[in-house]
Amino acid sequence: MIGSQGRHFHKDTSEVMVHYNHDLDVDHSLLSVFPTLAEALRDERVLALFKEYDRRARKHKRAFHALGVGSLLSGLMALSWAALSVMTGAAVGMSPNLGLVVEGTSALAVALMIWNVLTQHHRKWRLALFCRERLRQWHFQKFLDGSLIGLLTVNPAEYRTEMDRRWAVVRQVLRSQLGEMERFEKSGSSDLELLHPRRAYADPQLEADVVEALKILRVRHQIGYGAIKLETPNEGAQFTLDNHQLISQTFGAVTLVGAVVLAAISFLFAVVLRFSLFPAWVLDVPLASHFDAARWSRLSSGLSLLLAVWSAGARAYQAGFTVLEEKESYQEYRARVTEISHILERASLSKDRWHALAMLEEESIAELRRFLRIKRRASFLT
């Protein structure tokens, strides 16, 4: 849902080649397959505004992640240096100026964190994403209004007049971005968030064409985009959501276990040192005289602290990218859309197919609400 994927179509609509990441930018070869619906399937003003919101969303998303990861890495560097100081007993082997620079990364972390908050990239990203997706929903939900789409065959001029009126309304609504997003997130009904009235089609053939077109543009797209997010690197990313989850969770778990084990070893060294618990036979070993329990206790304590810092960093990384929550959301949504796709394929009555399309739009609304709530919780050091 939170993305787009266009396709190149030949006359045989079963032949689909994914080649462009936009489901509103409908290829003209598909429009030629559904000439009656061409004006409704591709709306240039919707496409232009959608691209502007998409540009803003990507810009603020990149800035939020860059500042967040920067503050996280800077903080980890300062804390890692503190752990190394514990291991060595002092910041030995480093010039005062270099030591000041390393420790100063903590100040850099705070500065980046504050700058991220002040620039409000997180809020602006969510706002642009909300407007982008609501505009997409407005475009596709109009096909639930059979009376509106029916005007394309009986009175195209009246269709354009009505669409102009509805366009003015949705533009005005989207201008109240923050208030609309807050209201939308708190709303408990997907049906009430439909942006067009639901009215049946009078022309069975027109309804059949709408169903076929939306099965390609809406249903297949939703299923395919979920697969891309979960299984294919996209938007310049080097890892899929599965990769992100596996790497971050594994690293966080391993370093945490290592920290606990080393803390236990440090405790054992401390006990041995405090109560002189060396067995007599150990003291007879030539190397025993060179064994410094205090040094090894300090070393294991510092290394334990270092691993604990890295484990916390991995958890903060997951929280900033909301990896696990986003993955589960895409999995659930793809499963629901797949079921709706099966309903559409099995439905023999037009009212059942129309109802399935309405279910899809309601699921899209619910998924957007869930996604916004997930991203509201995204944070690195804040």
Q: What is the mean pLDDT of each run of 10 residues along the chain (382 residues)?
A: 43 37 82 95 95 95 95 89 74 60 84 94 96 95 96 96 96 92 87 89 92 90 70 52 70 82 77 59 46 68 85 87 84 90 85 88 93 92 72
For the record, the structure tokens of 222 come out as: 């939703």
pTM, entire model: 0.82
Instruction: Tally the C-alpha atoms within 13 A of residue 115's C-alpha that lie toward its C-beta.
Output: 15
What pLDDT score does 12 carry? 40
- The full DSSP string for 224-258 is HHHHHHHHS--TT-SS-HHHHHHHHHHHHHHHHHH
Taking a C-beta distance cutoff of 8 angstroms, is the pair 64, 125 a contact? yes
What pLDDT score does 193 carry? 87
Q: Which residues have a Cβ under 8 Å from the Cβ of 354 and sit 6 or more positions away?
A: 144, 146, 200, 201, 207, 211
Give the whole-angstrom CA distance, residue 199 versus residue 196.
9
What pLDDT score does 275 carry? 62
Taken in order 348, 351, 356, 357, is the CA torsion positive or negative? positive
Give the whole-angstrom CA distance, residue 126 versus residue 121.
9
Instruction: Tally the C-alpha atoms within 13 A of residue 204's C-alpha that lie toward its C-beta.
Output: 5
Place of tokens 């002092």: 90
Instruction: Tally the C-alpha atoms within 13 A of residue 326's C-alpha that lie toward its C-beta.
Output: 23
Give the whole-angstrom CA distance, residue 355 versus residue 344.
9
Alpha helices in 176-240 (DSSP H): 177-186, 204-214, 221-231
Q: Which residues have a Cβ under 8 Å from the Cβ of 121 and sit 6 or more positions away?
A: 60, 61, 63, 64, 67
What pLDDT score does 366 carry? 92
> Nearest CA to 75 among 35, 108, 45?
108
